[in-house]
Amino acid sequence: MNVQDIVNTVSQKAGLDQATTEKVVGTIFSVLEHEADGTSASSFFAKIPGADDLAHQYDVMAAAPAGGGGFLSSLQGALGGVLGEKAGALVNGLAALKASGLDMAQIQKAGATLVQQAEAAAGPDLTNEVLGSVPSLKSHLGLG
């Protein structure tokens, strides 16, 4: 199972269009890539072809678009600076998910489906190990 299979399944089960689903999956993978423990995260991404590319495409730690920003952007920058990269990745990822126009129920449905698909691709133990290293993401996705 590759990342496109996961995007297709999440899109179908969560009732989201392909572009939005790709953004949600890529954003969640990017948060995991930045926050999860290095060894388990690299093993996880190795089992899902294309997942790391999608995470980079929707990198939550990439610079904000030129001219964008405002209060939320400055708050994210301040929190990221105070709390370090890990918390910054989570804050940025959650902001990106909310900015995608989805409500929390849709985000949680997409997140739960993504986790089911990741477990099928990478195995439940490895998936839970990676998610377990980012407990606040689990709670925001309604999984914890």
Q: What is the pLDDT of residue 39?
A: 82
Whether residue 85 has pLDDT greater than 90: no
Tokens found for residue 48:
């899902």
Q: Is 127 exposed, middle or buried (0-12, 13-18, 19+ CB in 10 A)?
A: buried
| Each residue's pLDDT tens digit, 110-122 | 999 999 999 999 9
Q: What is the pLDDT of residue 90?
A: 87
Tokens found for residue 14:
């969560």
For the chain, report the end-to-end CA distance as a whole number of angstroms.
Answer: 25
Whether residue 84 has pLDDT greater than 60: no
Distance, CA of 22 to CA of 84 (rounded, Å): 27
Four-residue CA torsion sign, 48, 37, 28, 57: negative
Domain limits, the chain? 3-140
CA torsion, points 112, 114, 120, 122, in degrees to nearest 10? -120
| Each residue's pLDDT tens digit, 30-73 | 999 998 877 899 999 999 999 999 999 999 998 554 444 455 55
pLDDT band at 88 (very low <50, low <70, confident <90, very high): confident
55-81 as b/e: b if 16+ CB within 10 A: beebbbeeeeeeeeeeeeeeebeeebe
Distance, CA of 84 to CA of 88 (rounded, Å): 6
Tokens found for residue 60:
């939550």
